[in-house]
């Protein structure tokens, strides 16, 4: 059984002006997501600026998220690292905190081989009992790509590795993977502009940046598809394309934090080395948000 089906939000981590985690605002955003019918919360991922959280902050944010959600929907904790031992530590602590599943990114900078990737993910998964979703995002990991054969092998041979968040953008690679999968890979789109194409290849849903500002619409893209209303699903997907483009016109999560702030939801500052959005891009984002009915 899949960890979740539908739209999981890759939730931002709100910060105060002094750089501390703003837990009060974080709780508000979790509640807004649940009210908007989001199907899962993915905490401490790329969008949550996990790479600039200390290990203590990282785990505190996961613990707090689990506490606020209180079992209403699944919480998937980002626990990846380019160091296998660190990924094991974060994963074990997230399991202790009550996370329902883990999202483990491909090791970055080291540029592991497929053998190295297999061993890394297997060691991490073997250290916990909860499900693990692989996160394949070559654009963030020095071009390292988990090949279809490796994904399928991991999902077949390691009991609690259940699927992959695919943010390669390569539909042909995804199609090959799903052809090899024999039902053993739970596929989640890692790109908001490819939700419907991924669902058409057997995807379970999306782990979404868009959901931060449009939870109901993102949920409905998946829900309508699963209900058999493919046209209704496609309609929302295509209507959202301009907004999705604006949300990625600068590196994530710069635009989505700007969008939340424009909506009066206090996402706060970005941690360095990320900087505030350029004025020209902010204007493009605001226009797209108005066009989608968010402002």
Query: Is the pTM here over 0.85, yes or no?
Result: yes
Domain-embedded: residue 166: yes
pLDDT band at 91, cuts 50/70/90? very high
CA distance 275 to 263: 19
Domain-embedded: residue 86: yes
pLDDT band at 161, cuts 50/70/90? very high
CA distance 101 to 74: 8
Mean pLDDT of 81-104: 98
Domain-embedded: residue 60: yes
Q: What is the dihedral of CA 110, 150, 253, 28, to 10 degrees?
A: -120
Hey, which residues are catalytic here? Answer: 135, 165
The residue with tokens 């002094």 is 18
CA distance 94 to 128: 9
CA distance 219 to 162: 21
pLDDT band at 133, cuts 50/70/90? very high
CA distance 102 to 77: 5
Give the model confidence (pLDDT) of 228-280 as tens digits. 999 999 999 999 999 999 999 999 999 999 999 999 999 999 999 999 999 99
Tell me how many domains the chain contains.
Answer: 1
Give the model confidence (pLDDT) of 49-72 as tens digits. 999 999 999 999 999 999 999 999
Residues 14/25, Cβ–Cβ less than 8 Å:
yes
**What pLDDT is recorded for position 272?**
97
Instruction: Work out the percent of the chain whose per-residue pLDDT is above 70.
Output: 100
**What pLDDT is recorded for position 118?**
98
CA distance 34 to 10: 13
The residue with tokens 């939700």 is 195
DSSP annotation of 8: E
Q: What residue numbers bound the domain in which 60 lies?
A: 6-229
**What pLDDT is recorded for position 1?**
85
Distances (CA, A) of 192 to 125, 129, 210, 278: 27, 30, 7, 22
**What pLDDT is recorded for position 128?**
98
Domain-embedded: residue 280: no
Domain-embedded: residue 281: no
Give the model confidence (pLDDT) of 211-238 as tens digits. 999 999 999 999 999 999 999 999 999 9
CA distance 24 to 48: 16
Domain-embedded: residue 217: yes
Give the model confidence (pLDDT) of 23-45 as tens digits. 999 999 999 999 999 999 999 99
Closest CA to 136 of 163, 110, 166, 109: 166
DSSP string covering 36-103, please?
TT-SEEEESSTTTTGGGS-HHHHHHHHHHHHHHHTTSS-EEEE---SSHHHHHHHHHHHHHHT-SEEE
pLDDT at 109 over 90: yes
Task: Please tell me whether the peptide bond between 273 and the residue prior to it is cis, using omega within 30 degrees of 0.
Answer: yes
**CATH number, residue 74:** 3.20.20.70
The gap from C-alpha 248 to its chain's centroid, in whole angstroms, comes to 14
Give the model confidence (pLDDT) of 175-219 as tens digits. 999 999 999 999 999 999 999 999 999 999 999 999 999 999 999
Domain-embedded: residue 221: yes
Q: 38: which 2 tokens?
A: 């989001």
Domain-embedded: residue 156: yes
């Amino acid at each position: 059984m899949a960890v979740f089906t539908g739209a999981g939000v890759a939730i931002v981590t709100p910060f105060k002006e002094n750089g501390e985690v703003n837990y009060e605002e974080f709780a508000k955003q979790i509640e807004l997501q649940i009210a908007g019918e989001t199907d899962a919360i993915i905490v401490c991922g790329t969008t949550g600026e996990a790479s600039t959280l200390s290990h203590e902050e990282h785990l505190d944010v996961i613990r707090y998220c689990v506490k606020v959600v209180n079992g209403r929907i699944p919480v998937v904790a980002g626990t990846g690292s380019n160091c296998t031992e660190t990924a094991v530590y974060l994963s074990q602590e997230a399991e202790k905190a009550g996370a329902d599943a883990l999202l483990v990114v491909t090791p970055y900078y080291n540029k592991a081989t497929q053998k190295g990737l297999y061993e890394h993910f297997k060691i991490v998964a073997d250290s916990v009992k909860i499900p693990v979703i692989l996160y394949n995002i070559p654009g963030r990991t020095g071009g390292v790509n988990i090949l279809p054969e490796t994904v399928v092998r991991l999902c077949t041979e390691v009991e609690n590795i259940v699927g992959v968040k695919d943010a390669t953008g390569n539909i042909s690679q995804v199609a090959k993977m799903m052809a090899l999968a024999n039902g053993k890979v739970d596929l989640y789109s890692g790109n908001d502009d490819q939700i419907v194409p991924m669902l058409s290849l057997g995807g379970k849903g999306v782990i979404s940046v868009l959901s931060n500002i449009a939870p109901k619409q993102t949920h409905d893209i998946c829900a309508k598809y699963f209900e058999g209303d493919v046209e209704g699903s496609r309609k929302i997907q295509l209507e959202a394309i301009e907004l999705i483009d604006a949300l990625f016109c600068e590196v994530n999560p710069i635009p989505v934090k700007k969008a939340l702030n424009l909506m009066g939801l206090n996402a706060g500052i970005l941690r360095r080395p990320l900087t505030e959005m350029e004025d020209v891009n902010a204007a493009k984002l605001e226009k797209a948000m108005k066009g989608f009915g968010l402002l």
